Amino acid sequence: MKKNILKFISLFAFLALFLAACGNAAEATPAPEQVIASNEVIAEGRLEPIHATNLSFQARGVVEEVLVKAGDTVSEGDVLVRLSNAGGAEAQFVIAQNGYDLLLRNESGDRAKLWQVYMNAQIVRAKAETEWEDLNVDDIDSRIEDLEADVEDRKTDLTDAQDEFDKYKDLDENNSRRVTAEDDLEQAHEDLNQALRDLEEETRSRDEIKAAYDAALANEAEAKYQYEISLAGPNADQLILAKAQLDAAKDALANFVITAPFGGVVAEVNVKVGEQVGTETRAVSVADFSAWTVETTDITELEVVKLKVGQSVSLIPDALPDLELSGEIVEISNAYTQQGGDIIYAVTIRVNETDPRLRWGMTVEAVFLEQLSD
């Protein structure tokens, strides 16, 4: 400690004056050899938990329940202290939480259904795609061309048959030439109709498979779109509103109920049941003692330039001189304070080890070890 060094220097000067006054030596005591100062920086700091906070109510009221005591282990969200007028806010919070959770559950279920629809659409599309790829379209197109030519021929036959019948249509119905021409005309009609049916059937053998494939592609695209927009929430507006209501209820509840902001240990309980409290009352202190930091209080502008983030530090608590801990600089403040004419910078050190004897606020001597040149 810097204060320990000053004490040592003062003691040394006192002893030198005392020996000179005794006159035991005939000659003046020779001046001590000048000690060459090390480039190491030595500072003093305070031991702090990795996380620590003092909690207060945001409203005035009477303490109804104190659910913890100093030394208790708590988890994030645990209720620590409750005011007597917390009931209404708690009820509103429960209602808002249930409403929000219900929307989330429904959203998850709807999304799962949409995903299944998308998967089924992929299966149907894959089957239709295989049927289309297996189809010999060139052969079908060739047969269609032949059938189209056949249709044209049948149309020509029908025209010829119609012309032939027109020659005899005014004759008696039983006239053999008229009967033959009429039969030929009827047969030409039937042949044309059959040719058209054959053409349609062959065309359908291609177009129905292509249409099924196109429909499967469209259904798959729509199913994919519906699933993807569900990722943002099919009830996005409702969810936003419900989340806002939940946050408002949580803020209102925070006025009357203190909960643990993180997991740790209750360091202090400063309220009792029946006590009137307000925003100025520190009700509970919670800390996470699983790890420690040290923040220095006396690094000057001449010393801070010798330090850098990542530098190793040796730490010895005043109360535990036999305990040496290792640490590392994690932050060097850019802001300063003025103390007794000196410009002081805060340096934060992460402590790499722990010990059950360590306590919040212990004074620690920090020796910043010299860095080897790069």
pLDDT average, residue stretch 222-242: 72
Q: Report the predicted TM-score, pTM, of the whole model to 2 decimal places.
A: 0.48
Q: Which amino acid is at 84?
A: S
Q: 168 with 178: CB under 8 angstroms? A: yes
HSE at residue 122, side-chain half, CA atoms within 13 A, is: 9
pLDDT tens digits along 181-224: 889 989 989 999 998 998 888 888 888 888 888 888 898 898 88
Model pLDDT, residue 36? 39
* Lowest-pLDDT range of 18-32, 43-57, 215-229: 18-32
Q: Give the Cα separation of 200 and 93 in Å (integer).
A: 68
Q: How confident is the model at residue 361 (pLDDT cuts 50, 70, 90)?
A: very high
Of the chain, the percentage scoring pLDDT greater than 70 comes to 82
CATH of 36-84+262-368, one of 2.40.30.170, 2.40.30.20, 3.40.50.2300, 3.40.50.720: 2.40.30.170
pLDDT tens digits along 65-87: 899 999 999 999 899 998 876 66
Q: 68 with 284: CB under 8 angstroms? A: yes
Q: Give the angle subtended at the CA of 262 by the CAs of 257 and 268, to the nearest 5°.
A: 65
User: Residue 294 above 60 pLDDT?
Assistant: yes
Identify the three-state secondary structure at position 255. Answer: coil
User: Residue 3 above 50 pLDDT?
Assistant: no
Q: How confident is the model at residue 233 (pLDDT cuts 50, 70, 90)?
A: low
Q: Give the Cα separation of 210 and 201 in Å (integer).
A: 14
Q: Where are the domains of the chain?
A: 36-84+262-368, 107-231
User: Residue 28 above 70 pLDDT?
Assistant: no
Model pLDDT, residue 10? 47
User: Residue 89 above 90 pLDDT?
Assistant: no
Q: How confident is the model at residue 1 (pLDDT cuts 50, 70, 90)?
A: very low
Model pLDDT, residue 329? 95
Give the burial class of 242: count Cβ atoms within 10 A of its Cβ; 0-12 exposed, 13-18 middle, 19 or more buried: buried
User: Residue 121 above 90 pLDDT?
Assistant: no
Q: Give the Cα separation of 308 and 294 in Å (integer).
A: 15
How far are the Cα atoms of 240, 278, 301 from residue 249, in angstroms, in the given order? 14, 20, 48
Q: Give the Cα separation of 275 and 286 in Å (integer).
A: 20
Which helix (H) or strand (E) element contains residue 218? helix 176-231
Model pLDDT, residue 132? 84
User: Residue 20 above 70 pLDDT?
Assistant: no
Q: Which amino acid is at 281?
A: T
> How high is the mean pLDDT of the chain?
82
Of 338, 336, 332, 341, give the one whose Cα is nearest residue 366: 332
pLDDT average, residue stretch 56-70: 88
